[in-house]
């Protein structure tokens, strides 16, 4: 039997980890209309980045209570542990909590409780990164950042931004990131997924991030690649997400190995696994099979992710 490669995930949106069956069940319980959210096979229906974000927002809206979020989080982490994941950072969203009508403290408390249960039963360690959503605008972002720093627990280790990269300027969100940095949170930001290398450069110029969510389109700019390598910026690469969203026309075209070979620190994550018909285990497997990488090379992605994790050194020492 082949040994399961230990995996570390740095980029997964908690509502984006909800299996369609769970969303259908909760929608029925709370009498929420989810017509059009699913395709004939029962999976999430979307056809481009904009409709993906809309589907995500709708699926997120069926989670209402702390227990709903505890159950979602425990289920996701346990499934991850069974694929060999030893540590996961999940993105949470004060704006999605607000839109769902749940108090942020209850939302965070539920997610944290789900992590506690999964660690107790399966040993997987979870940490939390609140995110602002770019498509909700700079004013919502500053409010969400204040909410996030006002209510924290020991699992909250970072802060970031997701959402529609085509909207606004990244500098519009610098004040929200400053609130989080002031509270001691480490920063990451989605860039270079829907937009190109210029978006990654603008993000590095505007926000003191240690990591970039995606960042894969840096491959289009050699100067930027050198900068990422020199500044040791870590990319949270989500190849299955990129292929599903059409950023790349198939796995063989994905730049993950070329980025790594340019000296850039690269990790592997699943992003919104059921939306993209993937899991972190599948993402690791597809990278290994597509590019015929050794187990040692796969383990190097995990080691890079441990080094880049936002948790304390004591936790990292246990993971190594």
| The binder of ligand ES4 chosen from 14, 16, 20, 189 (CB under 6 A) | 16
Which run of H or of E encompasses 125?
strand 125-133
- Residue 59 CB, shortest distance to ligand ES4, in Å, is 10
Residue ranges for the known binding site are: 11, 13, 190, 271-272
Q: How far apart are CA 7 and CA 84, in angstroms?
A: 6
CB of 248 to Zn ion, least distance (A): 16
Q: Indicate which residue of 83, 165, 193, 236 is catalytic.
A: 193
Which C-beta is closer to ligand ES4: that of 27 or that of 162?
162
For residue 127, the partner it binds in ligand ES4, Zn ion, none, with Cβ less than 5 to 8 A by kind, is: none
DSSP H or E stretch at residue 133: strand 125-133
Residues lying near Zn ion in the complex (CB under 5 A)? 271
SS3 254: coil
Based on the shown chain and the rule CB under 6 A, indicate whether residue 173 belongs to the binding site for ligand ES4: no
Taking Cα atoms as reference points, which of 200, 202, 274, 205 lies closest to residue 237?
200
C-alpha distance across the termini of the chain, in Å:
23
Nearest to 53 by CA among 175, 193, 180: 193
**What distance in Å separates the CA atoms of residue 41 and residue 56, rounded to the nearest whole number?**
18
Q: Which residues are annotated as a binding site for Zn(2+)?
A: 11, 13, 190, 271
Q: How deeply is 56 buried, as exposed, middle or buried, from its count of CB atoms within 10 A (0-12, 13-18, 19+)?
A: buried
Give catalytic status of residue 15 as yes or no: no
Does 273 interact with ligand ES4 (rule: CB under 6 A)?
A: no
| Residues 238-267 within binding reach of ligand ES4 (CB under 6 A) | 241
Q: Is 13 in the site for ligand ES4 (CB under 6 A)?
A: yes
Task: Give the residue, chosen from 9, 71, 271, 283, that forms a contact with ligand ES4 under the rule CB under 6 A.
Answer: 271
Residue for token pair 């039963």: 121
Applying CB under 6 A, among 56, 107, 248, 301 the residue interacting with ligand ES4 is: 56
Q: Which is nearer to ligand ES4, 86 or 191 (CB)?
A: 191
Site for ligand ES4 (CB under 6 A): which residue of 72, 108, 162, 228?
162
d(CA 111, CA 116): 9
Two tokens at 152?
A: 């924290």
Distance CA 88, CA 8 (A): 6
Mind telling me the catalytic residues?
193
| Interface contacts to ligand ES4, rule CB under 6 A | 13, 16, 56, 162-163, 190, 193, 241, 271-272
């Amino acid at each position: 039997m082949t040994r399961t490669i230990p995996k570390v995930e740095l980029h997964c949106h908690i509502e984006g980890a909800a299996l369609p069956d769970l969303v259908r069940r909760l929608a029925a319980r709370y009498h929420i209309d989810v017509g059009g959210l699913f395709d004939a096979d029962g999976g999430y229906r979307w056809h481009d980045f904009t409709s993906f974000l809309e589907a995500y927002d709708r699926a997120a809206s069926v989670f209402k209570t702390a227990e709903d979020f505890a159950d979602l989080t425990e289920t996701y982490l346990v499934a991850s542990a069974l694929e060999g994941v030893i540590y996961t950072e999940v993105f949470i969203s004060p704006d999605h909590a607000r839109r769902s009508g749940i108090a942020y403290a209850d939302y965070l408390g539920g997610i944290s409780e789900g992590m506690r249960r999964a660690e107790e039963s399966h040993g997987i360690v979870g940490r939390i990164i609140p995110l602002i959503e770019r498509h909700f605008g700079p004013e919502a972002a500053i409010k969400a950042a204040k909410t996030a720093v006002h209510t924290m627990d020991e699992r909250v280790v970072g802060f970031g931004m997701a959402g529609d990269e085509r909207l606004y300027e990244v500098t519009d969100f610098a004040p929200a990131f400053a609130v989080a940095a002031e509270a001691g949170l480490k920063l990451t930001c989605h860039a270079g997924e829907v937009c190109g290398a210029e978006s990654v450069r603008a993000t590095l110029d505007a926000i003191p991030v240690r990591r970039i969510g995606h960042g894969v389109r840096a491959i289009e700019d050699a100067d930027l690649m050198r900068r990422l390598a020199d500044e040791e910026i870590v990319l949270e690469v989500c190849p299955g997400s990129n292929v599903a969203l059409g950023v790349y026309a198939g796995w063989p075209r994905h730049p993950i190995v070329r980025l790594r070979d340019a000296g850039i620190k690269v990790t592997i994550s699943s992003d919104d696994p059921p939306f993209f018909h993937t899991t972190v285990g599948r993402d690791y497997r597809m990278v290994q099979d597509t590019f015929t990488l050794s187990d040692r090379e796969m383990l190097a992605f995990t080691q890079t992710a441990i080094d880049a994790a936002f948790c304390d050194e004591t936790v990292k020492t246990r993971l190594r």
